[in-house]
Amino acid sequence: MDLILWRHAEAEEGENDLLCPLTAKGRKQAEKMAAWLNKRLNGAALTVISSEALRSQETARALSKQFKIDARLNPGARAATYLEVSNWPRETGKVLVLVGHQTELGHAAAVLMAGKELDWNVRRGGCWWLQRRVRAGQISYLLRAVMSPDLL
């Protein structure tokens, strides 16, 4: 299973947090990251799940017009909730992209990599790509990439 934790790109400020759209810069960030991911996914079937926040949906749409919305990924969620939504690590042979928020994504990445919630930062528009592999009966976990749109 491949799990990609993708933070929404730069968004406008607003009174209703869930209704803030991406800025022009944010749309470019999302498009750059989506192009980078698409090149590496090489046509693999994927499932994209976004929080209800407009900025997350707009980020997800840059990668796939077909995505699900799950309120459990909204701001304020716990890292364990992100893992529950992903069904990590029980899904096999799938690519799952969760589009959400900082600090939640940073905490989820820390749980996956270090075994506990730590204050790790995922930059706006950036992603962490993790993979669970089974080879010769052995399970291993791999950090495939950490990428930020300002590096593209």
Residue spans per domain, the chain: 2-151
Mean pLDDT of 52-62: 99
Superfamily of the domain at 2-151: Phosphoglycerate mutase-like (3.40.50.1240)
pLDDT of residue 90: 77
Mean pLDDT of 50-78: 98
Share of the chain above pLDDT 90, in %: 87
Mean pLDDT of 136-147: 92
What single-letter DSSP state applies at residue 67?
A: -
Query: CA 53, CA 62: separation in Å to the nearest integer?
Result: 15
pLDDT of residue 85: 95
Of the given ranges (58-72, 82-96, 104-118), which has the lowest mean pLDDT?
A: 82-96
User: Does position 67 have pLDDT exceeding 90, yes or no?
Assistant: yes
Average pLDDT, the chain: 95
Alpha-carbon distances of 23 from 49, 54, 127, rounded to whole Å:
21, 12, 18
User: Does position 141 have pLDDT exceeding 90, yes or no?
Assistant: no
DSSP per-residue letters across 92-126:
-S-EEEEEE-TTHHHHHHHHHHHSS-------TT-
User: Does position 59 have pLDDT exceeding 80, yes or no?
Assistant: yes
pLDDT of residue 17: 94
Q: Output 90 or 14, whichever has higher pLDDT.
A: 14
